[in-house]
Structures are given as structure tokens and as C-alpha cells.
Amino acid sequence: MYKVEDVRINEYTSDMKKLLDNMWSPEGRSEEYNNLYNAVQAASEINGLNIAGNQKSLKIIKANRDILNAAAKYIKGKEKVRRSSDGNARFANALDSIAVVFKHAPRTVHRVSKIVDKINNVRGAKASNDAGFINKETLMHTYGANRAENAKNEAEAAKQAKNSAKKRSPQAHL
């Protein structure tokens, strides 16, 4: 169920590395987010391990299980209310990690569906036109390593623009 086909292992670990590089820092965050971050990190490092193909497959299966479990635990209780942009960003990272696992291990569909259904249930979203509704297609097309990278780049650009505006502001010198 959690297996990634051998021909896709390089792409899988590359996506996990890209996701890890663009996840928000776990520093000062909850144990659940740290567990998610560490699970993604472990998955991103599998290809660099000096182990045989079968052992690599077993490590990926464990990593995928760990990622989905950690994401589900992190998301629990946060499906509807997140009070900060940091919380929103990290919630999105949890969905990104689920999307990457689902992309490379499509037989996780039942586990992913349970997580997505729980989010929709808590949000009271029953149909695709309800606010906050997520389905497997939304998950695959909206979330993943590329979304994480784009979000991180946008946040950094906004921060730089804000800092530049402060430097140019005449009130900044008062």
C-alpha cells in the first residue's frame, strides 16, 4: 500500500527533498509538526543511503506510513481553525506531504481519503462547492512539493518587499 515503484524512487526522494527544503521550520513548533518534518526528512534521505533495493523499498514504505501518520496527527484539531499565517503555512505543509506520498504511492488512496474526509467533515464541507472542501483531485493539483516551494518563495518576496518599504519610508528614520 505504501510502496513506491522502483522506477519512481529517484523522483520520490527528489520531491521529498524539495518539500523538506521548502517546509516551514519546525523550531519552536509542536511535537506533531516536528514529527512530520522529521518523517519528510527521513524520506528525503533514503536515496542517499547505501542499502539494497529491497531494503530501500522497506524504508520508503515505513517513511510513507510515518508521514501519513504524522500528518494526520498534526492536522487533528486544526482542520477548521488556525489562528496564524504560520499555522496556515504548516497545515498546508502537512497537506503537501500527503500529496507527495499519494502522488508516488497511489495505493494509499484509502488512507489519504480518510484524512481528507475527516478534514471535510470537521469543516462541514460536503460538496466541491463548499468552502474549504478538499478531494483527492484538489489535493493532487493544489498541494505538493511545488506548492510548498512557491509558497515559501512568495513569503520570502513579501518579507523582502516589506523590509525594503521600511528602509525607504521617511518615518523609518524618525
Q: Which of 152, 24, 151 is nearest to 86 (CA)?
A: 24
Model confidence, pTM: 0.88
Domain ranges, ordered by start, for the chain = 6-173
| pLDDT tens, residue by residue, 126-143 | 888 888 888 888 899 999
Q: Which of 106, 75, 101, 94 is nearest to 148 (CA)?
A: 94
| pLDDT tens, residue by residue, 49-69 | 889 878 999 999 999 999 999
| pLDDT tens, residue by residue, 104-124 | 999 999 999 999 999 888 888
Q: What is the mean pLDDT of residues 66-74?
A: 97
